[in-house]
């Protein structure tokens, strides 16, 4: 982790970024405290019903962690942060009273609908890209994925498919 902090230092530009990336400002000095807080937050969120506070804290730590790992991020990390941001609106506990309770339920339902629309758009655009991209049309993309040494092992995949494992 210290090597990562050397290559991706966090230097907040203003007071808002100091607040946003506060967990990362603690990380170089107390890395174990950062990880213990993060694990305790996740265990607390799993042990009790997810509420607005724990959902926001998980989103906050995820944004900070994404800033730290920015050089190695891919699209799934950004989508995770988007879903965590929308997920702050989903919990219905603690429940409010009266008319505010109705607004809380509507807001939660709209957040779930927004996540479904986002997920559908991700799959649609991914499929559409595969239909129009030359590498997917001529099979080069499948060939490159199948020939990755670090993703698939020859024994588990190719021998099983080819039937070489049979007596």
Contact between 58 and 14 under an 8 Å Cβ cutoff? The reply is no
pLDDT tens digits, residue range 79-91?
Answer: 988 998 888 888 7
H helix and E strand count, the chain = 10, 0
Other CB atoms within 10 A of residue 117 CB: 10
- What total number of domains does the chain contain? 2
Q: What is the pLDDT of residue 2?
A: 56
Structure confidence by residue, pLDDT tens digits, 108-146? 899 999 999 999 999 999 999 999 999 999 989 888 877
Same domain membership, residue 72 and residue 144: no
Is the domain of 121 the same as that of 142? Answer: no
Q: Do 127 and 161 share a domain, yes or no?
A: no
Lowest-confidence region among 19-23, 108-112, 123-127, 152-156: 152-156
- The residue assigned the tokens 């920015």 is 70
Predicted TM-score (pTM) of the model is 0.66
pLDDT of residue 24: 76
Residue 52 and residue 115 in one domain: yes
Q: How large is the average pLDDT for residues 43-49?
A: 77
Q: Answer yes or no: do 148 and 103 share one domain.
A: no
Tell me: do 18 and 44 sit in the same domain: yes
Whether residues 88 and 142 share a domain: the answer is no
- For residue 64, the tally of other CB atoms under 10 A from its CB is 21
- Which two structure tokens, joined as six digits, stand for 101? 């309770």
pLDDT at 54: 82
Query: 143 and 128, same structural domain?
Result: no
- Both 50 and 81 in a single domain? yes
Residues 56, 88, single domain; the answer is yes
Q: Kindly report the length of the chain.
A: 167
> Does 125 share its domain with 144?
no
31-to-35, 37, 56, 112, 142 alpha-carbon distances in Å: 6, 10, 21, 35, 40
Q: Which domain holds residue 80?
A: 2-132
pLDDT reported for residue 23: 78
Same domain, 127 and 142: no
């Amino acid at each position: 982790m210290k090597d990562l902090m050397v290559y991706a230092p966090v230097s907040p530009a203003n007071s808002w970024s100091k607040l946003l990336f506060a967990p990362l400002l603690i990380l170089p000095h107390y890395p174990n405290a950062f990880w213990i807080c993060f694990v305790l937050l996740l265990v607390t969120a799993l042990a009790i019903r997810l509420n607005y506070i724990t959902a926001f804290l998980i989103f906050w730590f995820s944004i900070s962690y994404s800033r730290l790992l920015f050089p190695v991020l891919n699209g799934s990390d950004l989508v995770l942060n988007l879903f965590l941001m929308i997920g702050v609106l989903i919990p219905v506990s603690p429940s409010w009273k009266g008319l505010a309770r109705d607004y809380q339920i509507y807001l939660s339902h709209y957040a779930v609908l927004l996540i479904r629309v986002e997920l559908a758009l991700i799959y649609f655009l991914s499929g559409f890209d595969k239909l129009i991209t030359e590498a997917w049309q001529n099979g080069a993309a499948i060939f490159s994925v199948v020939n990755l040494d670090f993703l698939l092992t020859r024994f588990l995949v190719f021998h099983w498919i080819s039937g070489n494992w049979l007596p």
